[in-house]
Amino acid sequence: MIEFEDVTKRYPDGTVAVDKLSLQIPSGQITVFVGPSGCGKTTSLRMINRTIERTSGTISIDGDDVTSKDPVALRRGIGYVIQHAGLFPHKTVVDNVATVPKLLGWDKRKTRATAMELLERVGLDLKLAERYPAQLSGGQQQRVGVARALAADPAIMLMDEPFSAVDPIVRHQLQEELLRLQRDIGKTIVFVTHDIDEAIKLGDNVAVLRVGGKLAQFAPPAELLANPVDDFVRGFVGQDRGYRALTFVHPDELPIKPVPPDLVLDDDGVPVGWRADHEMLPLGAVFKQGDSLRAALDAVLTSPTGWGICVDDNGKAVGVVDQAIVAEALRS
Protein backbone atom coordinates (compact mmCIF):
# COMPACT_ATOMS: atom_id res chain seq x y z
CA MET A 1 0.00 0.00 0.00
CA ILE A 2 1.12 3.54 -0.77
CA GLU A 3 0.00 6.13 1.76
CA PHE A 4 0.01 9.93 1.56
CA GLU A 5 -0.27 11.70 4.92
CA ASP A 6 -0.72 15.50 4.79
CA VAL A 7 1.66 15.74 1.84
CA THR A 8 2.39 19.26 0.59
CA LYS A 9 4.59 20.46 -2.25
CA ARG A 10 5.39 24.16 -2.13
CA TYR A 11 7.87 25.73 -4.58
CA PRO A 12 10.32 28.50 -3.64
CA ASP A 13 8.11 31.16 -5.25
CA GLY A 14 5.28 30.18 -2.90
CA THR A 15 3.23 28.19 -5.42
CA VAL A 16 1.46 25.26 -3.76
CA ALA A 17 1.18 22.36 -6.21
CA VAL A 18 -0.13 19.82 -3.70
CA ASP A 19 -1.87 20.82 -0.48
CA LYS A 20 -2.07 18.44 2.50
CA LEU A 21 -2.94 15.40 0.38
CA SER A 22 -3.96 12.33 2.38
CA LEU A 23 -5.09 9.04 0.84
CA GLN A 24 -4.31 5.34 0.78
CA ILE A 25 -3.55 3.57 -2.51
CA PRO A 26 -4.40 -0.15 -2.21
CA SER A 27 -1.93 -2.79 -3.31
CA GLY A 28 -2.65 -4.77 -6.46
CA GLN A 29 -5.10 -2.24 -7.88
CA ILE A 30 -5.13 0.66 -10.35
CA THR A 31 -5.58 4.06 -8.71
CA VAL A 32 -6.11 6.98 -11.07
CA PHE A 33 -5.31 10.64 -10.32
CA VAL A 34 -7.55 12.84 -12.46
CA GLY A 35 -8.33 16.54 -12.54
CA PRO A 36 -7.88 19.78 -14.48
CA SER A 37 -4.51 21.29 -15.39
CA GLY A 38 -2.72 22.62 -12.33
CA CYS A 39 -4.32 20.21 -9.86
CA GLY A 40 -1.02 18.54 -8.90
CA LYS A 41 -1.70 15.05 -10.23
CA THR A 42 1.69 14.61 -11.93
CA THR A 43 3.48 16.23 -8.99
CA SER A 44 1.75 13.79 -6.63
CA LEU A 45 2.79 10.86 -8.80
CA ARG A 46 6.41 11.97 -9.04
CA MET A 47 6.71 12.45 -5.29
CA ILE A 48 6.22 8.69 -4.91
CA ASN A 49 9.51 7.89 -6.65
CA ARG A 50 11.12 11.14 -5.46
CA THR A 51 11.75 12.65 -8.87
CA ILE A 52 10.05 15.54 -7.08
CA GLU A 53 10.69 15.90 -3.36
CA ARG A 54 7.80 16.74 -1.06
CA THR A 55 7.93 19.84 1.13
CA SER A 56 6.14 18.30 4.11
CA GLY A 57 4.08 15.30 5.11
CA THR A 58 4.85 11.61 4.62
CA ILE A 59 4.68 9.21 1.71
CA SER A 60 5.17 5.57 2.66
CA ILE A 61 5.23 2.27 0.80
CA ASP A 62 4.10 -0.68 2.91
CA GLY A 63 4.79 1.42 6.01
CA ASP A 64 8.30 2.57 5.02
CA ASP A 65 8.88 6.27 4.39
CA VAL A 66 10.17 6.72 0.83
CA THR A 67 12.86 9.10 2.14
CA SER A 68 14.39 6.22 4.12
CA LYS A 69 15.70 4.74 0.86
CA ASP A 70 18.35 5.94 -1.55
CA PRO A 71 16.39 7.69 -4.33
CA VAL A 72 18.18 5.83 -7.14
CA ALA A 73 17.51 2.44 -5.51
CA LEU A 74 13.90 3.50 -4.90
CA ARG A 75 13.38 4.39 -8.58
CA ARG A 76 14.91 1.15 -9.83
CA GLY A 77 12.25 -0.73 -7.89
CA ILE A 78 9.35 1.29 -9.33
CA GLY A 79 8.24 1.10 -12.95
CA TYR A 80 7.69 4.47 -14.65
CA VAL A 81 5.85 5.13 -17.92
CA ILE A 82 5.42 8.61 -19.42
CA GLN A 83 3.97 10.27 -22.53
CA HIS A 84 5.80 9.45 -25.78
CA ALA A 85 7.33 6.45 -23.93
CA GLY A 86 10.63 8.28 -23.20
CA LEU A 87 12.68 5.62 -24.97
CA PHE A 88 16.41 5.94 -25.64
CA PRO A 89 16.59 6.75 -29.38
CA HIS A 90 20.07 5.24 -29.83
CA LYS A 91 19.10 1.86 -28.35
CA THR A 92 17.15 -0.93 -30.00
CA VAL A 93 13.74 -1.91 -28.68
CA VAL A 94 15.07 -4.95 -26.83
CA ASP A 95 17.93 -2.93 -25.30
CA ASN A 96 15.48 -0.27 -24.15
CA VAL A 97 13.48 -2.91 -22.30
CA ALA A 98 16.68 -4.37 -20.85
CA THR A 99 17.84 -1.04 -19.36
CA VAL A 100 16.92 -1.62 -15.69
CA PRO A 101 17.90 -5.33 -15.55
CA LYS A 102 21.34 -4.34 -16.86
CA LEU A 103 21.64 -1.68 -14.16
CA LEU A 104 20.70 -4.32 -11.60
CA GLY A 105 23.54 -6.56 -12.82
CA TRP A 106 21.51 -9.34 -14.41
CA ASP A 107 23.46 -11.63 -16.75
CA LYS A 108 23.05 -11.10 -20.49
CA ARG A 109 21.08 -14.28 -21.20
CA LYS A 110 18.49 -13.66 -18.46
CA THR A 111 18.22 -9.97 -19.39
CA ARG A 112 17.54 -10.65 -23.07
CA ALA A 113 15.14 -13.53 -22.38
CA THR A 114 13.15 -11.36 -19.97
CA ALA A 115 13.06 -8.45 -22.42
CA MET A 116 11.83 -10.64 -25.28
CA GLU A 117 9.19 -12.25 -23.06
CA LEU A 118 7.91 -8.83 -22.01
CA LEU A 119 7.72 -7.57 -25.59
CA GLU A 120 5.52 -10.53 -26.38
CA ARG A 121 3.43 -9.99 -23.25
CA VAL A 122 2.59 -6.39 -24.19
CA GLY A 123 1.48 -7.54 -27.64
CA LEU A 124 4.48 -6.59 -29.79
CA ASP A 125 5.77 -8.63 -32.71
CA LEU A 126 9.22 -9.94 -31.74
CA LYS A 127 10.44 -8.97 -35.21
CA LEU A 128 10.49 -5.40 -33.87
CA ALA A 129 13.03 -6.21 -31.16
CA GLU A 130 16.05 -5.05 -33.15
CA ARG A 131 14.46 -1.87 -34.48
CA TYR A 132 14.97 1.60 -33.04
CA PRO A 133 12.19 3.72 -31.48
CA ALA A 134 11.99 6.05 -34.49
CA GLN A 135 11.02 3.04 -36.63
CA LEU A 136 7.95 2.31 -34.49
CA SER A 137 4.47 3.84 -34.39
CA GLY A 138 3.38 5.84 -31.36
CA GLY A 139 1.32 2.96 -30.03
CA GLN A 140 4.21 0.52 -30.45
CA GLN A 141 6.54 2.90 -28.62
CA GLN A 142 4.10 3.09 -25.69
CA ARG A 143 3.98 -0.71 -25.51
CA VAL A 144 7.79 -0.77 -25.35
CA GLY A 145 7.59 1.81 -22.56
CA VAL A 146 5.24 -0.44 -20.58
CA ALA A 147 7.50 -3.46 -21.19
CA ARG A 148 10.53 -1.48 -19.97
CA ALA A 149 8.66 -0.45 -16.81
CA LEU A 150 7.86 -4.12 -16.13
CA ALA A 151 11.37 -5.42 -16.83
CA ALA A 152 12.58 -5.68 -13.22
CA ASP A 153 9.17 -6.98 -12.08
CA PRO A 154 8.43 -3.97 -9.83
CA ALA A 155 5.56 -4.15 -7.34
CA ILE A 156 4.59 -0.56 -8.22
CA MET A 157 4.13 1.14 -11.59
CA LEU A 158 3.68 4.88 -12.08
CA MET A 159 2.04 5.91 -15.37
CA ASP A 160 1.90 9.61 -16.25
CA GLU A 161 -0.65 10.18 -19.05
CA PRO A 162 0.97 7.35 -21.04
CA PHE A 163 -1.72 7.11 -23.71
CA SER A 164 -2.59 10.77 -24.26
CA ALA A 165 -0.32 11.28 -27.29
CA VAL A 166 -1.81 8.54 -29.49
CA ASP A 167 -4.97 8.52 -31.60
CA PRO A 168 -8.30 7.34 -30.09
CA ILE A 169 -8.24 3.88 -31.69
CA VAL A 170 -4.71 3.12 -30.48
CA ARG A 171 -5.54 4.62 -27.09
CA HIS A 172 -8.48 2.22 -26.71
CA GLN A 173 -6.22 -0.71 -27.67
CA LEU A 174 -3.58 0.33 -25.13
CA GLN A 175 -6.19 0.72 -22.38
CA GLU A 176 -7.52 -2.77 -23.09
CA GLU A 177 -3.96 -4.13 -23.11
CA LEU A 178 -3.24 -2.54 -19.74
CA LEU A 179 -6.39 -4.04 -18.22
CA ARG A 180 -5.47 -7.45 -19.65
CA LEU A 181 -1.96 -7.18 -18.25
CA GLN A 182 -3.25 -6.10 -14.87
CA ARG A 183 -5.50 -9.16 -14.68
CA ASP A 184 -2.38 -11.28 -15.22
CA ILE A 185 0.19 -9.46 -13.07
CA GLY A 186 -1.76 -7.57 -10.38
CA LYS A 187 0.61 -4.62 -9.92
CA THR A 188 -0.01 -1.57 -7.76
CA ILE A 189 -0.51 1.05 -10.49
CA VAL A 190 -0.83 4.80 -10.02
CA PHE A 191 -2.12 6.32 -13.27
CA VAL A 192 -2.41 10.02 -14.13
CA THR A 193 -4.88 11.29 -16.72
CA HIS A 194 -6.94 14.41 -17.47
CA ASP A 195 -9.62 12.26 -19.15
CA ILE A 196 -12.49 11.25 -16.85
CA ASP A 197 -13.59 8.47 -19.24
CA GLU A 198 -10.11 6.94 -19.09
CA ALA A 199 -10.11 7.26 -15.30
CA ILE A 200 -13.47 5.50 -14.99
CA LYS A 201 -12.49 2.75 -17.41
CA LEU A 202 -9.12 1.93 -15.86
CA GLY A 203 -9.40 2.78 -12.19
CA ASP A 204 -10.33 0.52 -9.31
CA ASN A 205 -10.24 3.81 -7.41
CA VAL A 206 -10.25 7.39 -8.68
CA ALA A 207 -8.81 10.42 -6.91
CA VAL A 208 -10.32 13.67 -8.24
CA LEU A 209 -8.03 16.63 -7.50
CA ARG A 210 -8.88 20.33 -7.51
CA VAL A 211 -6.58 23.09 -8.75
CA GLY A 212 -3.97 23.64 -6.06
CA GLY A 213 -3.57 19.95 -5.29
CA LYS A 214 -6.51 19.47 -2.94
CA LEU A 215 -8.30 16.13 -2.89
CA ALA A 216 -11.96 16.55 -3.86
CA GLN A 217 -13.09 12.91 -3.77
CA PHE A 218 -11.50 9.46 -3.61
CA ALA A 219 -13.81 6.59 -4.53
CA PRO A 220 -14.41 3.63 -6.84
CA PRO A 221 -15.69 4.78 -10.25
CA ALA A 222 -19.27 3.57 -9.71
CA GLU A 223 -19.54 5.49 -6.44
CA LEU A 224 -17.97 8.57 -8.00
CA LEU A 225 -20.59 8.58 -10.75
CA ALA A 226 -23.51 7.83 -8.46
CA ASN A 227 -22.59 10.16 -5.59
CA PRO A 228 -20.28 13.07 -6.51
CA VAL A 229 -19.54 14.96 -3.31
CA ASP A 230 -20.00 18.50 -4.62
CA ASP A 231 -20.57 20.71 -7.65
CA PHE A 232 -16.90 20.61 -8.67
CA VAL A 233 -16.83 16.79 -8.89
CA ARG A 234 -20.29 16.74 -10.45
CA GLY A 235 -19.15 19.18 -13.14
CA PHE A 236 -15.88 17.38 -13.76
CA VAL A 237 -17.54 13.98 -14.10
CA GLY A 238 -19.96 15.53 -16.60
CA GLN A 239 -23.66 15.80 -17.25
CA ASP A 240 -23.80 12.35 -18.88
CA ARG A 241 -22.63 10.54 -15.75
CA GLY A 242 -25.82 8.45 -15.81
CA TYR A 243 -24.76 6.98 -19.17
CA ARG A 244 -21.22 6.42 -17.90
CA ALA A 245 -22.65 4.64 -14.85
CA LEU A 246 -24.05 1.95 -17.18
CA THR A 247 -20.44 0.74 -17.45
CA PHE A 248 -20.87 -0.82 -14.01
CA VAL A 249 -24.24 -2.48 -14.64
CA HIS A 250 -23.71 -6.08 -15.75
CA PRO A 251 -26.98 -8.00 -16.14
CA ASP A 252 -26.61 -11.76 -15.77
CA GLU A 253 -28.26 -12.32 -19.13
CA LEU A 254 -30.01 -10.11 -21.64
CA PRO A 255 -32.96 -11.64 -23.54
CA ILE A 256 -31.28 -11.93 -26.92
CA LYS A 257 -33.47 -12.08 -30.01
CA PRO A 258 -32.52 -14.34 -32.98
CA VAL A 259 -30.16 -13.06 -35.68
CA PRO A 260 -32.36 -11.26 -38.24
CA PRO A 261 -32.15 -12.26 -41.93
CA ASP A 262 -30.82 -8.86 -43.03
CA LEU A 263 -27.66 -9.24 -40.90
CA VAL A 264 -24.97 -10.48 -43.29
CA LEU A 265 -22.58 -13.08 -41.86
CA ASP A 266 -19.38 -14.58 -43.25
CA ASP A 267 -18.74 -18.33 -43.45
CA ASP A 268 -17.78 -18.43 -39.76
CA GLY A 269 -20.92 -16.63 -38.62
CA VAL A 270 -19.11 -13.34 -37.97
CA PRO A 271 -21.25 -10.29 -38.84
CA VAL A 272 -19.96 -8.13 -41.70
CA GLY A 273 -22.79 -5.68 -42.34
CA TRP A 274 -26.51 -5.02 -42.72
CA ARG A 275 -28.29 -5.70 -46.01
CA ALA A 276 -30.38 -2.71 -47.17
CA ASP A 277 -31.82 -2.51 -50.69
CA HIS A 278 -28.79 -2.52 -52.99
CA GLU A 279 -26.13 -1.56 -50.48
CA MET A 280 -24.36 -2.88 -47.39
CA LEU A 281 -24.67 -0.80 -44.22
CA PRO A 282 -21.94 -0.84 -41.52
CA LEU A 283 -22.40 -2.90 -38.37
CA GLY A 284 -21.89 -0.32 -35.64
CA ALA A 285 -20.45 -1.57 -32.35
CA VAL A 286 -20.96 -5.13 -31.09
CA PHE A 287 -21.03 -6.52 -27.56
CA LYS A 288 -20.77 -9.83 -25.71
CA GLN A 289 -23.30 -11.43 -23.38
CA GLY A 290 -22.21 -10.40 -19.88
CA ASP A 291 -20.82 -7.05 -21.04
CA SER A 292 -22.03 -3.88 -19.37
CA LEU A 293 -25.32 -2.22 -20.30
CA ARG A 294 -23.23 0.66 -21.64
CA ALA A 295 -21.66 -1.68 -24.19
CA ALA A 296 -25.07 -3.08 -25.16
CA LEU A 297 -26.65 0.36 -25.47
CA ASP A 298 -23.67 1.62 -27.48
CA ALA A 299 -24.18 -1.28 -29.91
CA VAL A 300 -27.84 -0.30 -30.28
CA LEU A 301 -27.14 3.41 -30.74
CA THR A 302 -24.39 2.89 -33.34
CA SER A 303 -26.35 0.36 -35.39
CA PRO A 304 -27.99 1.73 -38.57
CA THR A 305 -30.96 -0.58 -37.91
CA GLY A 306 -31.44 0.00 -34.17
CA TRP A 307 -30.43 -3.60 -33.42
CA GLY A 308 -27.29 -4.09 -31.32
CA ILE A 309 -25.39 -7.25 -32.26
CA CYS A 310 -24.30 -9.71 -29.56
CA VAL A 311 -21.30 -11.91 -30.40
CA ASP A 312 -19.48 -14.77 -28.68
CA ASP A 313 -15.76 -14.89 -27.83
CA ASN A 314 -14.96 -15.86 -31.43
CA GLY A 315 -16.89 -12.90 -32.86
CA LYS A 316 -19.76 -15.09 -34.09
CA ALA A 317 -23.19 -13.44 -33.98
CA VAL A 318 -25.50 -15.02 -31.40
CA GLY A 319 -28.41 -12.55 -31.55
CA VAL A 320 -29.50 -8.93 -31.26
CA VAL A 321 -31.07 -6.51 -28.76
CA ASP A 322 -32.88 -3.19 -29.11
CA GLN A 323 -33.37 -0.16 -26.85
CA ALA A 324 -36.45 -1.66 -25.22
CA ILE A 325 -34.50 -4.74 -24.08
CA VAL A 326 -31.69 -2.62 -22.65
CA ALA A 327 -34.16 -0.29 -20.91
CA GLU A 328 -36.00 -3.21 -19.35
CA ALA A 329 -32.72 -4.67 -18.05
CA LEU A 330 -31.90 -1.32 -16.51
CA ARG A 331 -35.24 -1.19 -14.68
CA SER A 332 -34.96 -4.72 -13.35
pLDDT of residue 308 exceeding 90, the answer is yes
Domains and CATH numbers, the chain: 2-248 (3.40.50.300), 263-331 (3.10.580.10)
What's the confidence (pLDDT) of residue 229?
92
pLDDT tens per residue across span 11-70: 999 999 999 999 999 999 999 999 998 899 999 999 999 999 999 999 999 999 999 999
- Mean pLDDT taken over the chain: 90
Strand partners, 59: 4
Q: CB-side exposure of 80: number of CA atoms within 13 Å?
A: 18
What's the confidence (pLDDT) of residue 152?
82
pTM: 0.82
Give the mean model confidence (pLDDT) for residues 268-291. Answer: 89
pLDDT of residue 184 exceeding 80, the answer is yes
Cα 258 to Cα 318: distance, rounded to the nearest angstrom: 7
Kindly report the backbone phi and psi dihedral angles of residue 235, in degrees, each rounded to the nearest multiple of 5, phi listed first: -70, -35
pLDDT of residue 243 exceeding 80, the answer is no
